[in-house]
Amino acid sequence: MELHRISISELAELLVAKEVSATECVAYFGNRIEQINPALNSFVSLDLDAAMEKARAIDDLRANNRKVGALGGIPFGVKDLEDAEGFVTSRGSILFANSPKARKNSHMVDCFVREGAIPVGKTNTPEFGWKSNTDNPVFGPTRNPYDFSRSPGGSSGGSASAIASGQVPFATGSDGGGSLRIPASACGISAMKTSLGRVPMVSDVPVGWSDLSVPGPLAGTIRDTALLLDLVAMPDGRDFRSQARKLELWHQELSVEQGTVTAAFSIDLGYATIDPEVAEVIKGAITTLESNGVQIRVLDSVFAKDPLDEFFTMTNSYYAKTLGPLTSDPRFQDIDPGLRSQVENGLRASATEFLRASDLAFFMNQILWKLFQEVDVLITPTTAGLPPQVGGPQLIAGMEVRDWVQLTYPFNMTRSPAATVCAGIAKSGIPVGLQIVGPHLGDLKVLSAAHLFEGLLGTRSPEIA
């Protein structure tokens, strides 16, 4: 049986029914990791022996009819920006590559482990998650399972590459400017960035991108993503941004029949340059949605300007806060030059500049609030261009650009829930994502629309030799 081709819930059912043991499950995915990871570099550290020990313990519990949790025996990956007990959290940086192994789990990892899931290793990320391509000076680049010469996007590129190639059923990630949606789009899977506060950021110290980034799981489909979110989205008093939620289970609510979905569509949000290959796939997806009853209203513009400069003002300031104290470390000169530049720019930025950038986010959200009085969701391409060649420049329509993404970070600034599903495959053979955005705290509305669109547009997986 090809376990990597079935859903998480189906895999869980096989484990509960003892048709597949936890050790067989871990061995199956461990074998795929050993075969595939050398080509993709999705994982940067592994401990399959420890994973097998945990699997044997779960099998013993099941044999004695003891509770093991909803995910008992399912292996998963952990983005190398968060802690997993027994693994180094290197953050893709020479500054932390030789740190001691973590002695406890992050909130998400802890939730999954309590349900019996087994962490097998850490997935690659750009240094401190700073950019939309996954490579770093310590571990090198991760590759796209659809085209090994291309990036899988970032910053959760290791996780997305691992899932799309069937190395694990799910992995953890985070999204501060598109870091779940971008690699999911590039690798042909679905993803969901929740509203800020839905998944708490639990930490002993103030978190980095506190008003932009949200942790979240990555899986192959929206239903699997919702299943995992039901285990981690909750209020937590240690995070004063965390949000309460109703008692409904999101993955069960997806089965409730929806009425007609109304959507506003913008190809470029009013400012972006869209690659022709991306535009062609997205227009085909819009035609498919309309022919299946989705009511779509085309917008000429959403925002008056590209908020990238203001977004960078915020992120530069966050990096200056967290990494500024390390500038005297001789190794600081060896970090990614782009990240080093962000820290230096952040140290020069004023508090007034940061607050003005935050004010722009407020006004952008006001625009969205008015729009969502008239439609259920806003849909756009997930990225403006296709993922670049590994080590190559960012391109749109063959021209080098400052940013190949362009369409994700506005919705981190507005704290909006936003998902991506695969819209189709471009002529160059790379997946193209369709982004679905909803009102703040309208997470279930976005998940439901994304689930519907995913069903209409279909799911895909790469052929891995």
| Residue 217, phi then psi, degrees to nearest 5 | -85, 160
Active site includes 79? yes
Give, for 306, the enclosing helix (H) or strand (E).
Answer: none
Q: What is the C-alpha to C-alpha distance for residues 302 and 164, in angstroms, rounded to an integer? A: 32
Residue labelled with tokens 């006001």: 366
Q: Please calculate the CA angle 125-129-131 and round it to the nearest 5 degrees.
A: 100
Evaluated on CA atoms 159, 193, 409, 348, the torsion sign reads negative
Judged on CB neighbours under 10 Å (0-12, 13-18, 19+), 374 is exposed
Hey, which residues does 419 pair with through a beta bridge? 192, 436
The answer to whether residues 437 and 208 touch, using CB atoms and an 8 Å cutoff, is: no
213 labelled catalytic:
no
Q: How many CB atoms lie within 10 A of CB 32?
A: 19
Q: Is 101 a catalytic residue?
A: no
Among 435, 155, 426, 459, smallest CA distance to 275 is for 426
Ramachandran sector of residue 84 (left: φ over 0; alpha: ψ -120 to 50; beta: rest): beta
Catalytic residue among 42, 93, 151, 155: 155
Nearest-Å Rg of the Cα atoms of the chain is 21
DSSP state of 324: G
* Burial grade of 64 (CB within 10 A; 0-12, 13-18, 19 or more): exposed
Q: Give the angle subtended at the CA of 219 by the CAs of 218 and 220, to the nearest 5°.
A: 135
Residue 358, token pair as written in the block: 């935050």
For 375-403, letters b (16+ CB in 10 Å) and e give: bbbbbbbbbbbbbbebeeebbbeeeebeb
Q: Which of 79, 122, 131, 193 is catalytic?
A: 79
Number of residues assigned to the chain: 465
Q: Which residues contact 347 (CB under 8 A, 6 or more apart)?
A: 320, 324, 327
Active-site residue, selected from the candidate residues 151, 159, 165, 179: 179
CA dihedral (394, 275, 307, 80) positive or negative? negative
Measured CA distances, 165 to 161, 226, 392, 408 (Å) = 6, 21, 23, 24
Catalogue the active-site residues. Answer: 79, 155, 179
